[in-house]
Amino acid sequence: MVNVLVPIAKGTEEMEAVIIIDILRRAAFNVTVAGENDIVICSRNVKIIPDILLSNLNDNIIFDAIILPGGLEGTQNLSNNKHLLKILKYHKENKKLIGAICAAPTILAEHNIFNPNQKVTSHPSVKGKLNNYQYTFDKVCIDDIFITSRGAGTAIDFALEIVKKLSSEDIAEKIASNIVYKYR
């Protein structure tokens, strides 16, 4: 069973969070949604009830992937969560997949989690915060253990690439077909 952590915080972009969670669960992954509070109010006031509080996660649990949804305020709140940062650094050390969409790649840049010369993409509004990396305008950028993506409009492609990386292209294509989405 593939285990994935999706952390959320006040201001998280709900489309990105929900699309990621939904697509990964369609792939039969065990997705744990961890929030900063019992109820997380997202960027457009959608309320999401996480499975667990970020503060209650065991520091030594290794997920197969950690996937960070964006949203400017949500990204800032996740970037300030010392518990999440410790988990992210631990996962990098153990070479586990780390994904970030929209503004979320800035968390990985700000805390030196990306590798030097990392290829990345993000929402155009935060491109300037990623000047130390090889920036691309691809919808989804895969480099080493990192997958980054541009924003809400690329969330399905992003989630399907995660499925492909952690499972198979056949599963990703089957999910795309089932939701009537043209993949690739």
pLDDT digits (tens, 9 = 90+) for 77-111: 999 999 999 999 999 999 999 999 999 999 999 99
Report pLDDT for 59: 74
- Identify whether 123 is part of a domain: yes
Map residue 38 onto helix, strand or coil: coil
- Identify whether 133 is part of a domain: yes
Report pLDDT for 20: 98
- Tokens coding 148: 């980054």
118-145: buried (b, 16+ CB within 10 Å) or exposed (e) per residue? Answer: bbbbbbeebeeebeebebeeebbbbbeb
C-alpha torsion 132→136→141→146, nearest 10: 0
With cut-offs at 50, 70 and 90, classify the pLDDT of residue 1.
Answer: very high
- Tokens coding 52: 């667990």
**DSSP, res 37:** S
Residue 8, domain extent: 3-178
Report pLDDT for 18: 98
Say yes or no to pLDDT of 174 above 90: yes
- Identify whether 184 is part of a domain: no
- Identify whether 35 is part of a domain: yes
Report pLDDT for 61: 84
With cut-offs at 50, 70 and 90, classify the pLDDT of residue 165.
Answer: very high
Angle between helices 169-178 and 155-166 (to 10 degrees): 140
Report pLDDT for 145: 98
- Identify whether 115 is part of a domain: yes
Say yes or no to pLDDT of 183 above 80: no
Report pLDDT for 60: 75
- Identify whether 183 is part of a domain: no
Give me the CATH number covering residue 152: 3.40.50.880
Active site residues: 102, 123
Say yes or no to pLDDT of 184 above 90: no
**DSSP, res 115:** P
Average pLDDT over residues 57-62: 83
Residue 182 CB neighbour total at 10 angstroms: 7
How many domains, the chain?
1
Q: Note the pTM of the prediction, 2 decimals.
A: 0.97
Report pLDDT for 58: 85
Say yes or no to pLDDT of 31 above 90: yes
Average pLDDT over residues 138-159: 98
- Identify whether 150 is part of a domain: yes
Say yes or no to pLDDT of 40 above 80: yes
Taking a C-beta distance cutoff of 8 angstroms, is the pair 58, 32 a contact? no
- Identify whether 73 is part of a domain: yes
- What rounded mean pLDDT belongs to the chain? 97
Residue 62 CB neighbour total at 10 angstroms: 14
The proportion of the chain whose per-residue pLDDT surpasses 90, expressed as a percent, equals: 96
